[in-house]
Amino acid sequence: MIKLKKKIIVIGGGGFTHQSDKDLDDFVINQSAKKNKKIGFLATASKDDKTKINLFYKRFENKNLELSHFNLTSNDVGFSQWVFDKDIIYIGGGNTAYMLELWKKYNLISIFKEAYEKGIILSGVSAGGVCWFDWIFSDSLGPIYKPLKGINLISGSCTPHSSERHRMSQYQLEIQNSKLPPGVAIDDGVAVLFINGIAKEVYSTRKNSDAYFVDNNNKVSLKEYIK
């Protein structure tokens, strides 16, 4: 029996919502082998920002894809049916804590987990990428970075935007002080493909940008770590 490949793509920063690094979007799309792909966009973390939603449709309008979005800030009626009809779910960035609280309020986390088990590809940038981990290093709870509980589809911790030096140094310090478990830091312009919870590929669109495995003692290129 062939084991189902359950995929999550985590983008540190960039892509259509940032109007940069278009190849990151293509990397996500290409993870599905289906001919007529159905892609759903969630802009929950930005409170369903219309600009980001419009950028989604503009980016993919000529790609022979079936596109739709769901405004969770309005209501959750029909959400499970919408999710299970998709091949790829893409989640935009914004306030991670706000997004996760809304998911909890509507009891949506189990829906995402079921979609993952069914082989629906989960993807996202920044808040929409790190939400899948056990723990997130986030500034969405206030002006300083703090650990935030994720939804437990990928073990360990994660920070996006690790090309920001201060963020990266703080993330390493949290791990060294055992306030966060070891994890993955992802630069802007970089996507990491996880299959069945394991990092399998690092895709970068920017020179000298990378993703890293960070533990108590080391920060190593994730490309080298997963070889």
Which of the residues are catalytic?
A: 126, 161
Q: Which two tokens stand for residue 185?
A: 């830091």
Identify the CA nearest to 15 among candidates 174, 160, 170.
160
Q: Residue 87 and residue 1: Cα distance in Å, rounded?
A: 22
DSSP string of the chain, one letter each residue:
-PPP--EEEEESS-BGGGTB-HHHHHHHHTT---SS-EEEEE-GGGTS-HHHHHHHHHHHTTSS-EEEE--TTT--TTHHHHHHT-SEEEE--S-HHHHHHHHHHTT-HHHHHHHHHTT-EEEEETHHHHTTEEEEEESTTSSS-EEEE--SSEEEEEES-TTSHHHHHHHHHHHHTTSS-SEEEE-TTEEEEEETTEEEEEEESSTT--EEEE-SS-EEEHHHHT-
The amino acid occupying position 118 is: K
